[in-house]
Amino acid sequence: MADIENPITLRLMTEDDLPMLHAWLNRPHIVEWWGGEEERPSLSDVQEHYLPRVLAEEGVTPYIAMLDVEPIGYAQSYIALGSGDGWWEDETDPGVRGIDQSLANADQLNKGIGTMLVRALTDILFSDAAVTKIQTDPAPENHRAIRCYEKAGFKQHSKIITPDGPAVYMVQTRNTYESAQSCVTGR
Ligand SMILES: CC(C)(COP(=O)(O)OP(=O)(O)OC[C@H]1O[C@@H](n2cnc3c(N)ncnc32)[C@H](O)[C@@H]1OP(=O)(O)O)[C@@H](O)C(=O)NCCC(=O)NCCS
């Protein structure tokens, strides 16, 4: 159900969403920040790599963001510990989750929708008491994504090198999340 202050909801992605996701992942505004031209996926790539069952084996949960009844974006969360392939090798905390997301439609960028999406996703993740911290790793040149994460409560922690290249490591701890919530609710 939509939060009264946040019209964005997230539902779990299903296999039936994969053709739609394939179309989205080939849109220029997403290709620019999601793998680049050389990673532009075919439908069979998407069916192979984004099948929810396959993602689950990698600790990844995929979501479709909804604005009322309209699917407007893709998001995923992952368990950082044990990601493999050179990702988050120093992580020892099983409670750390990571997030990534992209809005489907270029004409919906820069309208605050991404910030609401990230807030909806952090609400879902922190509703699990086992989650201690949420991280994300935008490219240093992706100023729009960095600003969006900051508005959603993330802080820039450090510059890092990931298997995908340089990134800004951004975090939101449970403490900062709960402090912000209590400021809003007055509790
Ligand atoms: C990243 C993304 C999810 C953010 O969602 P969004 O709805 O566009 O972002 P918001 O409107 O909530 O916030 C964007 C902020 O960045 C600011 N911004 C935009 N371009 C900017 C730039 N070049 N430099 C600095 N700030 C910029 C906007 O002004 C806004 O801040 P403000 O509200 O303080 O003015 C969305 O833009 C997207 O899907 N982009 C394409 C794919 C992508 O980059 N995915 C993320 C990979 S980490």
What tens digit of pLDDT does each residue of 57-108 get?
999 999 999 999 999 999 999 999 999 999 999 999 999 999 999 999 999 9
pTM higher than 0.85? yes
| Ligand 1 pocket member 33 (CB < 6 A) | yes
What tens digit of pLDDT does each residue of 10-64 get?
999 999 999 999 999 999 999 999 888 888 999 999 999 999 999 999 999 999 9
Q: Does residue 55 contact residue 75 with C-beta atoms inside 8 Å?
A: no
Which stretches within 42-187 are classed as H helix? 43-49, 52-57, 113-126, 143-151, 174-185
Instruction: Compute, in angstroms, the gap from residue 111 CA to the centroid of ligand 1.
Output: 8
Q: Which CATH number fits domain 8-185: 3.40.50.300, 3.40.630.30, 3.40.250.10, 3.40.50.150?
A: 3.40.630.30
Q: Does residue 136 contact residue 98 with C-beta atoms inside 8 Å?
A: yes
| Ligand 1 pocket member 103 (CB < 6 A) | yes
100: β partners: 76
Instruction: Compute, in angstroms, the gap from residue 76 CA to the centroid of ligand 1.
Output: 17
Q: Does residue 8 contact residue 120 with C-beta atoms inside 8 Å?
A: yes
| Ligand 1 pocket member 27 (CB < 6 A) | no
Instruction: Compute, in angstroms, the gap from residue 32 CA to the centroid of ligand 1.
Output: 13
* Residue 123 main-chain phi, psi, to 5 deg: -60, -45
